Amino acid sequence: MKTILSACALLISISLLTSCSTFNTYKVAVLPPSWLNLIQIDKDIYVEKGMGEALQKKLIVQAEESKKYVIEVWGEIKSNPTIYACATKKCADSLGLKAPAHCVDSYLILRPKAFTKFYISHETSHSEVIKRSGSILKWKKIPEWFDEGLAVVVAPNPSHNAKAWEKIIKEQVPHPSKKELMSIHSVRAWNKATKKYNENLDYNSIVVTYATAGHYVGEWYSKAGKSGLLQLFDKIKNGYSFEKAYKEAIETI
Ligand SMILES: [Zn+2]
C-alpha cells in the first residue's frame, strides 16, 4: 500500500511537471506492469499481453545472450534491468517508445526490432551508466557521446561496429571530428548530430555518429580497460568532472 501511495504521489508530480509524451516515457518507473498491459514471462522480462510465443522465446534467448557482451566490458551487471517488451505500435506509443529501444533508469523498453542481443546489451550499458553514476545529478555529468560510444563498445551492432567505422574512413563518409564529437553533451545535441550526418547518406545501414563515438570510446577503453572504466565512475561519484575523470583513467594505467 505504501508503495502504491508513493507511486501515486510520484505519478502526480511527474504529470504536473512534464508533457504527455515525457510522462508516457517515465510512467514505466512508477506504474506496476499490469497497469501497462504487460505480463511476466521470465525473471525480469514482461511482455505486452497477447504477444506470440515465438516472439517471446526469441526475446528470452536474446536477453540471456546479451549479458555476456555487457559483462565483457563492465565486468558485471549491477543495474539488473527489467525488460518491458511491446509487440504492437499501440503499446510502443503508450510507453513513449519512438526508437526500436530505449532505457529509462533500470527499465529497457523494446519493440520487436530490438529483440536482439545487440540492442539489449546496448540498452543495458545505458542502464549501467545510470546505476554506476550513483545519482541522477552525477549521471547528468556524463556526456551523450561517451554514454552512446560505450554502448557501442559493449554491443558491436553491424550498423556502427568497427567494420562500419572502417567503411566510413575508406569511403570518406562525412563524420564528426574527435573534437566535435566530444562537444556533444546533451541528448538533444546528439540527436541533432545523428540526423545531420545521416541525412545525405545513400545508405542507412551505418549510423555515423554511433560508429564515430564507438571508435573513439573503444580507443580509450582499449587503454583504460575495465579497471579504468570503474575508476572513471568512482571519480564521477566522488564529484570529479567527467573530463578530468576520463583523462585520468588512462593516465594512471
Ligand atoms: Zn544508445
Residue 243: Cβ-neighbour burial (10 angstroms; 0-12, 13-18, 19+): exposed
In the reported structure, the alpha carbon of residue 182 is separated from the centroid of ligand 1 by a whole-number distance in angstroms of 16
Those residues whose C-beta lies under 8 Å from the C-beta of residue 45, and which sit 6 or more positions away, are: 59, 60, 63, 82, 83, 85
| 232 pLDDT more than 60 | yes
Q: In DSSP terms, which residues pair with 102 in a beta bridge?
A: 109
Find the range with the poorest average confidence among 3-7, 102-106, 109-113, 207-211. 3-7
Mean of the per-residue pLDDT values for the chain?
90
The pLDDT assigned to 203 comes to: 62
Q: What is the pTM of this model?
A: 0.89
| Å from CA of 18 to ligand 1 middle | 22
The average pLDDT across 16-39 equals: 78
Note the pLDDT tens digit of each residue in 57-92: 999 999 999 999 999 999 999 999 999 999 999 999
The C-alpha cell that represents 232 in the structure block: 572513471
CA 101 to chain centre: 8
Mean pLDDT of 168-190: 95
CATH of domain 1-132: 3.30.2010.30
Nearest in space to 219 (alpha carbons), one of 240, 195, 249 = 249
Q: Any idea where the domains of the chain sit in the sequence?
A: 1-132, 134-253
Report residue 48 as a C-alpha cell.
Answer: 505486452
The rounded Å distance from CA 55 to ligand 1 centre is 23
What is the CA(6)–ligand 1 centre distance, in A? 30
Is the separation of the CB atoms in 210 and 224 below 8 Å? no
